[in-house]
Amino acid sequence: MKKIGFTYIIYLICIWNYFLFFYPLETFSNSNYAALAHAVFFSKLPLEWILLYGLIKSNWASKWVSFIETITRFEWLKTMLFSLLLVLGYGIIRLPFNLVWFWISHREGTSLQPLGDWFYEMGLDLFFYWIMLTLGLIVVRLVIDRFKRTWWLILWSLTLPIVVFVVYVQPVWIDPLYEDFTTMEQGPLRTAIEDFTNEVGMENTTLLQVNMSEKVTTFNAYVTGIMSNARIVLWDTTLQGMEQDEILFILAHEIGHYVMHHVYIGVAGYLILSFVLFFLAAFIYDRVWLNVRRQNNYKTKNELKALPLLLLILSMLLTVSQPISNYVSRQIEVSADEYAIEHTENLAPAVEGYYRMATQSRSDINPVFWVKWMRSSHPSIKERIMRVEREMEERETN
């Protein structure tokens, strides 16, 4: 573990020196905020691997299990306690970087969130992570025990109802735990939005605004939920800081997601990718487990102390697949941009809106390719502005 720790320190030195002094940052603001955001992201990236590898290599996973077995004999409770220790460890090792980012975002003025509220939300995140991890590990242990060869396929088949449940329930039950949502006030903007939504077949869509001005100074709007839970949400910072035509272009983009059924496409893509990942995880886990079972005293593939090995494999596969997920997401966002462009007569406010959002959020408007692969689920602001400007030029020539 000393070698791992030393290697990670060298990695941090390289990452921070690169983003502070050598990264070719393009931004509309006089700040290196976006470069620091990249540095924090890549600093935290290997922490989960280090934690899980450390539990395996140092035999701490076995010690945790031995301790837990002195407390209870119920397997579900053992799994819950083991998951709790994992989540606490994960939260602790990420805390220094989260605090650094809290300080940076307040120094740069993009965040106004009080420290107590920040800790509350972080605790809420960890609580939900603990619940999901506990349920996931309980199911994994049961399925591996019963289906020796096809356990990965059974686990994959359970992802569809889980994803649909989360997508349907999150806007109603989870999001309000973090933010205060209210119905959008009557006025010219709401009337314009309702005219647009009625035109594209989104009659009686729920229009909400969320109080974000107490936390951030940046702008956002989104469409969330499916079926009867679909809703359009605008941050109050967007309503206060952007012009009506700029907001309508952003909403045209978000409505494009809804009209082109991108939520369902995303779910389908998730199922395809998760099928591949579960298959690869099972293939790798079965072989690695055979090689290390004696030295780690593993008896079965579903015992608690062996699960960090499976989680480590899954975590690394998810990271490797991130560029694929981001690429698909960027293509979806491009199609939503094209929908917004097609349904907007005056595109000048669109360009102004992109400039305003990028300036306010201090964005990296043109990330280098490998940062884009790992971090960008949307096209760069530079690409989006250029796309709108090309359309404006074509309209003028025609």
The structure tokens 């799994």 sit at: 79
Same domain, 220 and 238: yes
Which of 209, 237, 259 terminates a domain? The answer is: 259
Same domain, 172 and 204: no
Q: What is the largest CA-CA distance in the chain?
A: 78
Please provide the DSSP assignment of 225-247 as one string: --GGG-EEEEEHHHHHHS-HHHH
Residue 3 tokens read as 């070698």
pLDDT for res 49: 96
pLDDT for res 168: 75
Same domain, 139 and 83: yes
| pTM greater than 0.75 (yes/no) | yes
Give the total residue count for the chain.
398
Same domain, 116 and 19: yes
Which of 220, 239, 259 terminates a domain? The answer is: 259
Residue 33 tokens read as 């905020």
Would you name the residues annotated as active-site residues?
254
Per-residue confidence in pLDDT tens, the chain, 398 aa: 778 889 999 999 999 999 999 999 999 988 999 999 999 999 999 999 999 999 998 888 889 999 999 999 899 999 999 999 999 999 999 999 999 999 999 999 999 999 999 999 999 999 999 999 999 999 999 999 999 889 999 999 988 777 777 777 777 788 888 888 998 888 888 898 888 888 877 777 788 999 999 999 999 988 877 666 678 899 999 999 999 999 999 999 988 988 888 888 888 888 899 999 999 999 999 999 988 888 888 889 999 999 999 999 999 999 999 999 999 999 999 999 999 999 999 999 999 999 999 999 999 999 999 999 999 999 999 999 999 999 999 998 87
pLDDT for res 384: 96
Same domain, 21 and 74: yes
The torsion angles phi and psi of 112, rounded to 5 degrees, stand at -120, 5
pLDDT for res 227: 64
pLDDT for res 228: 65
d(CA 197, CA 331): 23
pLDDT for res 59: 84
The structural domain count of the chain equals 2
Q: C-alpha 341: how far from its chain's center?
A: 26
Same domain, 168 and 195: no
Q: What is the pLDDT of residues 316-352, one digit of tens each?
A: 999 999 999 999 999 999 999 999 999 999 999 999 9
Same domain, 311 and 253: no
Residue 99 tokens read as 């605090």
Same domain, 272 and 345: yes
Question: 214 is in which domain, residue-wise?
Answer: 181-259
Same domain, 253 and 287: no
pLDDT for res 292: 87
Is the separation of the CB atoms in 278 and 156 below 8 Å?
yes
Same domain, 144 and 92: yes
Which of 237, 259, 281 terminates a domain? The answer is: 259
C-alpha closest to that of 306 among 70, 144, 88, 106: 144
pLDDT for res 320: 96
Question: What is the sign of the dihedral through the CA atoms of 33, 36, 42 and 47?
Answer: negative
Same domain, 346 and 312: yes
Which CATH number do you get for residue 201? 3.30.2010.10
pLDDT for res 77: 94
Same domain, 38 and 164: yes
Count CB atoms within 10 A of the CB of residue 214. Answer: 13
